[in-house]
Amino acid sequence: MRSTEHAPQMAQDNPTRFDIALRAARVAFNGVDIFHDLDLTLQAGSFTCLLGPSGVGKSTLLRYFAGLVEGDVSGTITCSDNIALTGRVAYMAQQDLLLPWRSVLENVVLGAVLRHEKPDYEKASHLLTEVGLRDAANLRPAELSGGMKQRAALARTLMEDRPVVLMDEPFSALDPLNRLRLQELAAQVLRGKTVLLVTHDPLEALRLGDRVHVLTGSPTQLQDAITPKGQSPRNIADPEILAQQAELLGQLGAERSEGAA
Ligand SMILES: Nc1ncnc2c1ncn2[C@@H]1O[C@H](COP(=O)(O)OP(=O)(O)OP(=O)(O)O)[C@@H](O)[C@H]1O
């Protein structure tokens, strides 16, 4: 990973110090419970990953923490410092949500502009270099590939420097090498922050997550967390990580589908 004198301030310089407790969460759409009685604690400064089959409710759970689920919703979110979570979250959606009329650089500094703050263009340029978009800073989103849009959205999320970061499949559109590079970048820039990340990739979850939960069933339930050892980004060739991958695939139902085949 490149490192320059202008490297953005890393989260470990200012770690997140409050736990976030979600209790008795319930979300229903059209009268059907996606989940109910769901509890999940995000420990201060730790990286939690959510895995599960498509449609199980991962994005809904992530969006619940972001306060973005509307309608038939109940439950509580409490921070251990007794300050509301609202306003302390950076959220990266599955869709890149880049504004089409703004350049990549202008999209990355959008948060500051909307808050009427002076954008830190130096930090934005550094992050664009880190995500491999230095030469695309002045392009509009329509001129980018899907993977480039996702990298721009990641740079915008990392730019925000919030204590809590929620990311929905942030690397899904990337080729394998860019995926590994950006996982490394995320691990480095987000170290010390409280992160919740949704992914379909068990190895990505084990590479980055301190706690990895599988969601299964309907209504959805959280399986007990798997807790890979050591600091992220972890070596995915490590035999212990590979054993945990097998465990996660088992929780996801791999044995059942092999049996069915
Ligand atoms: N706003 C909504 N209105 C109605 N139904 C919704 C809404 N949002 C999500 N759902 C439904 O809730 C269920 C869970 O959706 P969600 O997007 O959370 O799943 P997911 O596990 O993230 O899926 P994927 O891995 O495909 O992204 C799905 O059946 C989906 O159709």
* Whole-number pLDDT of residue 259: 53
Mean model confidence pLDDT for the chain: 91
* Whole-number pLDDT of residue 94: 87
> Tokens for 206?
């084990």
4 lines ligand 1 (CB under 6 A): no
Report how far ligand 1's centroid is from the alpha carbon of 89 (Å): 21
Q: Is the pLDDT of residue 255 over 80?
A: no
Residue 166: CB atoms within 10 A of its CB come to 25
Q: Is the pLDDT of residue 256 over 70?
A: no
Q: Is the pLDDT of residue 257 over 90?
A: no
pTM, two decimals, is 0.91
ipTM, 2 dp: 0.97
Rounded CA separation 35/50 (Å):
14
Report how far ligand 1's centroid is from the alpha carbon of 211 (Å): 23
- Of all protein residues, the one whose alpha carbon is nearest to atom 18 of ligand 1 is 57
pLDDT tens column, 54-71? 999 999 999 999 999 998
Q: Is the pLDDT of residue 12 over 70?
A: no
Q: Is the pLDDT of residue 162 over 50?
A: yes
Name the percent of the chain lying above pLDDT 90.
81
Q: Is the pLDDT of residue 201 over 90?
A: yes
50 lines ligand 1 (CB under 6 A): no
